[in-house]
């Protein structure tokens, strides 16, 4: 079993005997005491995490005591952030802070429950109108998180007679949404439009088909071939849902996202536009934007909208202000683009494999789990905060540091990180 890159493998841990009970269920005795399957999983995870900590390579859930843009303090040590999703460095922006404070004063810290019943505030409606305008759709709705938006929307749109066609590297929230929808799932090779066409062509003509994809892939940083995807969706009479978690504020001359990047103005290209407000937008919550009828349907069927609390008013107001700041300060998008190019080309020049990234998500492929953890530790010792991503979260042999660069980094910050990664890469043998 794999949990978030941590392999929980029965035979690898000793002393541990596997037994089968009368129903053929796995049971285990650990140090002589019989454990049920749940206790066994819990124990194994505990051991694995402890082993990582004992070796000094456990890199998850580190606590930042202070945050000032890309500058952090972790365990009393100053660090430069190289794994932030705050692509435009908007966290702490005065106008956004002010909007959150004003809304806090006006509405308090919480809501009176779920959006569907008593939780809808004026600030939610204003945010949704802002998103609809930003994404050029008739309407939009907000949800407690991006995860909830994908899960709830896919489950509400699809049923078991339908076919959902999903890129193999789509985010976990899409994978989970496809699963709980009950629809037939067809997965096509990553960004392979011929494979997508085969999946569409093999599907019965009369079946309802939804293609779903990330715009920018969260592990590799590459961009979906949207123009070809739209051509195929039209040819095969399918619908298209696109997750803009990592393209909103990032792609396109003015940060409006994937359509702007490809210069597409067709209002019928994407039927369901999903995004999150936890990355370039420094808040929390997910959104779906689309036609008036689609949003009306989803507001009455998406379970996290109906059964989970509304966004706190300060978060909603902060998100609305952030959309406005993206438009009023376009220089941030430009700086992000320049920093991205500088960081990727610097890594390539030093001999790193950064796959196919064209965005601020930059994989630094190490190819081996332990070396990846070691490189992360060396970087941390040098004051660079970056996170490891290990198979099976990524394909075997592509274990990596998944670095990100933002509009908040200066060229000297990036130079410093490049030097540290080079030194760490040489120490673990990725660079020679
Ligand atoms: N989609 C993608 C592509 C993501 O990367 C993420 C978050 N990592 C989500 C959806 C979920 O968004 P949220 O954090 O707002 O739940």
| Catalytic residue numbers, as ranges | 218, 246, 279
152 lines ligand 1 (CB under 6 A): no
From ligand 1's centre to the CA of 4, what distance in Å? Answer: 15
What is the CATH number assigned to the segment(s) 64-84+330-428?
Answer: 3.90.1150.10
- Shortest-distance Cα residue to atom 12 of ligand 1: 146
Cα separation of 37 and 40, whole Å? 5
Name the pLDDT band for 27 (thresholds 50, 70, 90). Answer: low
Of 152, 385, 93, 101, nearest to 288 by C-alpha is 152
Q: Do domains 64-84+330-428 and 94-328 have the same CATH topology?
A: no
173 lines ligand 1 (CB under 6 A): yes
Here the contacts of 12-19 (C-beta below 8 Å, separation 24 or greater) are: 13/44, 13/47, 13/48
Q: Centre a 10 Å sphere on the Cβ of residue 191 and count the other Cβ atoms it contains.
A: 21
142 lines ligand 1 (CB under 6 A): no
Instruction: Average the pLDDT over 184-193 and give the result.
Output: 98
Domain ranges of the chain: 2-54, 64-84+330-428, 94-328
Contact 287, 274 (CB under 8 A): yes
**What are the tokens at 80?**
């430069």
Q: Which residue has the tokens 């970087």?
A: 379
Whether a cis peptide bond, with omega within 30° of 0, leads into 15 is yes
Low-confidence winner among 27-41, 229-243, 294-308, 398-412 (lowest mean pLDDT) = 27-41
- DSSP SS3 for 312: coil
Measured from the Cα of 276, ligand 1's closest atom is 15
Instruction: Average the pLDDT over 115-137 and give the result.
Output: 97
From ligand 1's centre to the CA of 276, what distance in Å? Answer: 6
243 lines ligand 1 (CB under 6 A): yes
Residue ranges of E strands in 12-109: 16-20, 26-30, 33-35, 64-68, 71-74, 77-81
Instruction: Average the pLDDT over 172-201 and give the result.
Output: 98
147 lines ligand 1 (CB under 6 A): yes
pLDDT at res. 9: 35
220 lines ligand 1 (CB under 6 A): no
Cα separation of 274 and 151, whole Å? 11
Cα separation of 101 and 426, whole Å? 47
From ligand 1's centre to the CA of 147, what distance in Å? Answer: 6
Choosing from 278, 319, 360 the residue with most ligand 1 atoms within 8 A of its CB, the one to mutate for a pocket test is: 278
The mean predicted confidence, pLDDT, of the chain is: 92
171 lines ligand 1 (CB under 6 A): yes
Instruction: Average the pLDDT over 330-348 and give the result.
Output: 98
What is the CATH number assigned to the segment(s) 94-328?
Answer: 3.40.640.10
Residues 6+ apart with CB under 8 A from 45: 3, 6, 8
Question: pLDDT tens digits, residue range 378-408?
Answer: 999 999 999 999 998 899 999 999 999 999 9
Question: pLDDT tens digits, residue range 170-179?
Answer: 999 999 999 9
DSSP string for 121-180: -HHHHHHHHHHHHHTT-SEEEEES-HHHHHHHHHHHH--TTSEEEEETT--HHHHHHHHH
From ligand 1's centre to the CA of 148, what distance in Å? Answer: 9
């Amino acid at each position: 079993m794999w949990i978030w890159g941590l392999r929980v493998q029965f035979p690898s841990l000793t002393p541990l005997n596997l037994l089968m009970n009368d129903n053929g269920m796995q049971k285990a005795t650990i140090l002589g005491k019989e454990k049920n399957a749940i206790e066994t999983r819990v124990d194994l995870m505990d051991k694995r995490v402890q082993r990582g900590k004992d070796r000094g390579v456990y890199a998850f859930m580190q606590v930042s005591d202070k945050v000032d843009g890309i500058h952090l303090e972790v365990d009393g040590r100053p660090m430069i952030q190289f794994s932030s999703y705050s692509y435009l460095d908007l966290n702490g922006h005065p106008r956004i802070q002010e909007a959150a404070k004003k809304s806090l004063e006006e509405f308090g810290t919480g809501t009176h429950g779920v959006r569907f019943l008593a939780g809808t505030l004026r600030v939610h409606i204003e945010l949704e109108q802002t998103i609809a305008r930003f994404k050029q759709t008739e309407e939009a709705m907000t949800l407690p998180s991006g995860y909830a938006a994908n899960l709830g929307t896919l489950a509400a749109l699809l049923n078991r007679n339908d076919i959902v066609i999903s890129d193999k590297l789509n985010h976990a929230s899409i994978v989970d949404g496809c699963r709980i929808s009950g629809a037939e799932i067809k997965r096509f090779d990553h960004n392979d439009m011929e494979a997508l066409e085969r999946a569409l062509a093999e599907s019965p003509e009369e079946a309802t088909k939804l293609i779903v994809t990330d715009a920018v892939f969260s592990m590799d940083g590459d961009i979906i071939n949207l123009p070809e995807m739209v051509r195929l969706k039209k040819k095969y009479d399918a619908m298209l849902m696109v997750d803009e978690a990592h393209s909103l504020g990032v792609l396109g001359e003015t940060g409006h996202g994937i359509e702007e990047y490809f210069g597409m103005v067709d209002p019928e290209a994407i039927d369901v536009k999903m995004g999150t407000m936890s990355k370039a937008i420094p808040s929390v919550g997910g959104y779906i934007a689309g036609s008036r009828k689609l949003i009306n349907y989803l507001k009455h069927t998406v379970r996290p909208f109906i059964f989970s609390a509304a966004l706190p008013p300060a978060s909603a107001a902060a998100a609305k202000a952030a959309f406005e700041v993206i438009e009023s300060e376009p220089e941030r998008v430009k700086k992000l683009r320049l920093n991205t190019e500088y960081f990727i080309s610097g890594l390539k020049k030093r001999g790193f494999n950064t796959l196919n990234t064209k965005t601020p998500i930059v994989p630094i492929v190490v190819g081996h789990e332990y070396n990846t953890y070691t490189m992360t530790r060396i970087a941390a010792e040098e004051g660079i905060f970056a996170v490891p991503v290990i198979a099976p979260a990524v394909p075997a042999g592509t274990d990596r540091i998944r670095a990100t660069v933002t509009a908040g980094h200066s060229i000297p910050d990036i130079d410093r990180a490049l030097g540290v990664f080079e030194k760490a890469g040489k120490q673990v043998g990725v660079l020679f």
